[in-house]
Amino acid sequence: MRQAVVKPAMPDINLERRCKRQAWAPTHRFFAVTAPGLEPLCAAEMAALGLAGVEPVSGGVHFAGRLEAAYQANLWLRIAGRVLLRLRDFRVRRWEDLERQAASVPWEVWLTPGAPLRVQVALHQSNLKHSGRVEEVVLSAAAARLAELGLDAPTPAAAGDEQAQSLLVRGQERRASLSLDTSGPHLHKRGWRAQGGTAPLREDLAAALLLLCGYDGSLPLLDPLCGAGTLAIEAALLARRLPPGGQRGFAFENWPCHRAAAWQHLKAQAGQGALASAPAAILARDHQARPLALAQENAALAGVAADVTFNRDDFFTAPPPAGPGLLVMNPPYGKRLGSVRQARDFMDRLGQRLRAAYPGWRCGVVLYRPEWAGLLGLKEEARLAAPFGGLKVTLLCGSIPRE
């Protein structure tokens, strides 16, 4: 016979009433962190979702709403890195200001008793001079509040534990803020990527290039240098109106105040709104078998295998597919091509091929040397620069002239 598991009795703190008052009823302020440069695109995504109070600033976008607004943002934003809930935003002159603010947070609705917690502190010309002490003050305020209610204090998160709850303290000159991470692992981790492959494009950058080019799935799409398939897979998710976060978990799902029914409802709604298949062709080509196999595996894991056609083809000799449509690419760069001169020559050849075989197509390119944009011969329509893995990349969108 199975023994019934006896759980330690949780003190009766009337959690539901506390959650209602502190977490469910109020309008919260949120901040979606983006790679610098991608803020306007992320703000446009938020506006399309109907989120309120959307205000792009350097490094991210503010918005406001009930808890469900953060659920929606995590589920749907293709370009954000994470979504923060602002718990407190205050003027700080001395340590007591931080102590008082941290003590006023109803930690019992946000933190699971005894669960790992990481406090990240960023100070920029702040009146608070010592990040170790900031961490101590905030942790002991949370522990004291939980202990008063008979609940266990958070435990320190192990280094590299991506599942641990993060709390961010930011001090900038005379202001400071306490924010709770709602996302967990970085949002570009959609939950579908198989291991392996070299130089995959990050998913948020891939989505940014597609959105910069106005891709909505209605025109044919070609990635002739597809590698592990990120651009084609992100395109298929967009074309089918599938949420980028539909296959992963989020930090908010572990909060005591999590509204599981509302979350399930949002996910079910997303499922109902998705198209059964992409409305127009999505074609991914590469001249090597290995990346193509990986791209196919990734597409299957992402649930879009039937939406993308994979072909082993050389860009310089394969005929263009039916079009015109949108051609997107993340050309090889740096060491993979040998010298800088070889990389430049490759870009030059790409430009010649685009002009010869793809007149009338639109083209979106990830560039590591913006000064080479001219080699492609595009009639430029939009461009933005964003950092990526220590490099500054430029996303460029234009049309290929009909000569």
Ligand X SMILES: C[S@@+](CC[C@H](N)C(=O)[O-])C[C@H]1O[C@@H](n2cnc3c(N)ncnc32)[C@H](O)[C@@H]1O
Residue ranges binding ligand X (CB under 6 A): 197, 199-201, 224-228, 230-231, 286-288, 291, 314-316, 330, 332
The SS3 assignment for 255 reads coil
CA–CA dist 386, 226 (Å, integer): 21
Least distance in angstroms from the C-beta of 117 to ligand X: 34
Length of the chain: 403
CB 49 within 8 A of CB 76: yes
Residue least distant from ligand X (Cβ)? 227
Which of 142, 283 has the CB closer to ligand X?
A: 283
- Only one residue has tokens 């197509």, namely 361
Which of 100, 336 has the CB closer to ligand X?
A: 336
Which of 164, 225 has the CB closer to ligand X?
A: 225
Phi-psi region of 37 (alpha: psi -120 to 50; beta: other; left: phi over 0): left
Residues with Cβ within 8 Å of residue 262, at least 6 apart in sequence: 67, 68, 71
CA–CA dist 48, 378 (Å, integer): 29
Which of 257, 329 has the CB closer to ligand X?
A: 329
55-92 as b/e: b if 16+ CB within 10 A:
ebeeebbbbebbbebbbbbbbbbbbbbbbbbbbeeeeb
CA–CA dist 18, 55 (Å, integer): 30
Least distance in angstroms from the C-beta of 227 to ligand X: 3
Residues with Cβ within 8 Å of residue 245, at least 6 apart in sequence: 74, 75, 76, 77, 187, 190
Which of 197, 364 has the CB closer to ligand X?
A: 197
Which of 2, 341 has the CB closer to ligand X?
A: 341
Residues with Cβ within 8 Å of residue 41, at least 6 apart in sequence: 34, 79, 208, 211, 212, 384
Least distance in angstroms from the C-beta of 285 to ligand X: 6
Least distance in angstroms from the C-beta of 223 to ligand X: 7
Which of 113, 291 has the CB closer to ligand X?
A: 291
* DSSP 8-state code for residue 308: E
Least distance in angstroms from the C-beta of 384 to ligand X: 18
Least distance in angstroms from the C-beta of 298 to ligand X: 9
Least distance in angstroms from the C-beta of 177 to ligand X: 35
